[in-house]
Chain A
Amino acid sequence: EDQVTQSPEALRLQEGESSSLNCSYTVSGLRGLFWYRQDPGKGPEFLFTLYSAGEEKEKERLKATLTKKESFLHITAPKPEDSATYLCAVRHGGDYKLSFGAGTTVTVRA
């Protein structure tokens, strides 16, 4: 069975204090690792897809990387508007459904 584990559960940062979120996974035949952002009371917002080890994607202050066992979401010089829950999900084999981690809630203080 797929397992997706995110750490830490919560992260409190000062504005400008860079940090990283971790997503470790156990899945056979990875067909994509997905990062989403979710604000309170809203649906998840798609950020990135990573397909193979060594791949990196960037968007504004966010950078996602992938190894064979885990993915990192790096937040560089965060701002208060980066406060959200960040979700990691995997898709494997011929399956289309996503298996999600529990998320990391990031709070950035001004």
Chain B
Amino acid sequence: GAGVSQSPSNKVTEKGKDVELRCDPISGHTALYWYRQSLGQGLEFLIYFQGNSAPDKSGLPSDRFSAERTGGSVSTLTIQRTQQEDSAVYLCASSQTSGRGNEQFFGPGTRLTVL
């Protein structure tokens, strides 16, 4: 596609429920990233996928968070047993890994609200 797409755009859930957020990267981009943007805070790195390599999960805040990337393309971020502090905008980005800059291009985000 022309850009990174994410779904749903908005998700409201009850505390304790599981949620899945989806990201479809730019075609041909081998690297995919998830970030979280909480109200009034900067973007916080969550996880990074590069090709078939093991993902860098160093930014995941707890074991309730997990992500997978199937076929080197679409990625799903799963949050189990959601808590109110998980409320944030979840942003996905993709990039090419060749070249110097590795510029990351972001999707529109999924706004998650945990009641």
Residues of A within 8 A of B (CB): 4, 31-32, 34, 36, 41-46, 49, 51, 87, 89, 91, 96-103
Contacts and interface: CB of A to CB of B under 8 A. Distances in A.
Closest 4 CB pairs of A and B: A43-B106, A100-B43, A49-B101, A97-B45
B43 A96 contact: no
Contacts of A51: 100-101
Max chain A C-beta neighbours (<10 A), residue from B104, B105, B108: B104
B45 A42 contact: no
Interface of B: 4, 31, 33, 35, 41-45, 48, 50, 56, 59, 91, 93, 95, 97, 100-109
Contact of A46 (B41, B43, B104, B109): B104
B42 A101 contact: yes
Nearest to B111: A41
B31 A44 contact: no
A49 B103 contact: yes
Contacts of A4: 42
